[in-house]
Amino acid sequence: MLLKTTLIAVAVAMTVPAHAQQSQRGITIITPYSVHVYSADPATPGRLLDDENLQRQNERQQRERIMRQMELDREAERQEADQ
């Protein structure tokens, strides 16, 4: 009886994560520079499912990264000119 109960509990525990993964809307890819959601549907592989908010967030982060790089470049030029 104990073995049967344990096997049932293990079977249920194994199916719950699989169901949760299937209910996601897509595959989320997180990089240091952006977050994108791609289609998990085999009929449309690689299709970008980013919503408007995620697109704006990625664009804002990219602009901030470019501005930081421009500031670092200007500072390096100033230091080079001072020497």
27-83 residue pLDDT tens? 777 877 777 777 777 677 667 666 788 788 888 888 998 999 999 999 999 999 888
Contact 37, 25 (CB under 8 A): yes
What is the number of structural domains in the chain?
A: 1
The span from the CA of 83 to the CA of 46, in Å, is: 50
Angstrom CA distances, 36 to 73, 76, 79, stand at 29, 33, 38
Partners of residue 36 on adjacent β-strands: 29
pTM of the model: 0.50
Per-residue tokens: 11? 């079977």
Q: What's the domain range around 60? A: 2-82
SS3 35: strand
Q: Is the pLDDT of residue 17 over 70?
A: no
Q: Name the pLDDT band for 22 (thresholds 50, 70, 90).
A: very low
